[in-house]
Amino acid sequence: METLIVSGGYLDSEFACAYMRQYPCELVIAVDSGMEFFYEHGLIPDYIVGDFDSVKTEVLQYFQNMEQKKPVILQFQPEKDETDTELAMRTAIEKGTKRIHLLGATGSRVDHMIGNIHLLGAAMKQRVECFMVDKHNRIRMIERGMVLKQQEQYGNYVSLFPFTPQVRGLTLTGFKYPLNYYTLECYHSLGVSNEIVEEKAEISFDQGVLLVVESKD
């Protein structure tokens, strides 16, 4: 099962609608003010999750008062340890999802964006593949190697950031800037703006956690 989560950060509506058509999901969750996107486009999520401190009152009431196809509403107190997005991800994982597409997770609140990047790791630890996506970027976290196909890449650039102090034995093939059994360390920009130059590119490493960012100009 795949899940779409729409959070309350910046969301390009045209992009989001196109993304939903390209990646249809069995489970759809709106997070707090993320439900405004569904309201504006006449769409109904399966779940609505949050403390509802940022959504417009009329939008929340619209979904609360629906008589048919009413979404399941999970409301939490504002004073809590988890963000609303984390609660939505936990809901998706509890429902048995194997892949999460997270939209509306970037924007002007850098603290929330960094927190959402950490949530990629929370999904990874549960063996759930998770993408944080906006109009210009697709971000994921990995603890084992992967292959990126040139025809399926998201934009022209691939950047790699160590999310542990070191990523050991990093080998890159099929990239403009290859590496061979390299130790990538924090506090360094070496992994920024690589490019796939072959039909497929492979990332492999022995130890550590990598943040993989595919970007468009």
Taking only the tens place, the pLDDT of each residue in 174-207 is: 999 999 999 999 998 999 999 999 999 999 999 9
Structure tokens at 14: 């045209």
- Model confidence band, residue 41 (pLDDT cutoffs 50, 70, 90): very high
Residue 78: is its pLDDT beyond 90?
no
Mean pLDDT of 167-179: 97
Structure tokens at 151: 């025809």
CA distance 158 to 17: 25
Which residue from 93, 147, 166 is spatially nearest to 124, judged by alpha carbons? Answer: 93
Q: Where in the chain is the domain with CATH 3.40.50.10240?
A: 2-135
- What pLDDT is attached to residue 80? 82
How distant, in Å, are the alpha carbons of 87, 168, 191 from that of 164? Answer: 25, 10, 14
- CA 130, 134, 138, 140 dihedral sign is negative
User: Whole-model pTM?
Assistant: 0.92
Crossing angle of helices 84-94 and 110-125, rounded to 10°: 20
- What pLDDT is attached to residue 101? 98
- What pLDDT is attached to residue 180? 97
In the predicted model, what is the mean pLDDT of the chain? Answer: 94
- What pLDDT is attached to residue 185? 95
- What pLDDT is attached to residue 217? 81
Q: Where in the chain is the domain with CATH 2.60.120.320?
A: 142-215
Spatial strand order of the sheet with 146-149 comes to 146-149, 200-204, 166-173, 179-185
Mean pLDDT of 101-122: 93
CA distance 193 to 196: 10
Pick among 2.40.10.10, 1.10.730.10, 2.60.120.320, 2.60.40.10: CATH of 142-215: 2.60.120.320
- Model confidence band, residue 88 (pLDDT cutoffs 50, 70, 90): very high
Give, in words, the CATH class of 2-135.
alpha beta
Look at strands 166-173 and 72-75 and give their pairing: unpaired
Residue type, 53: D
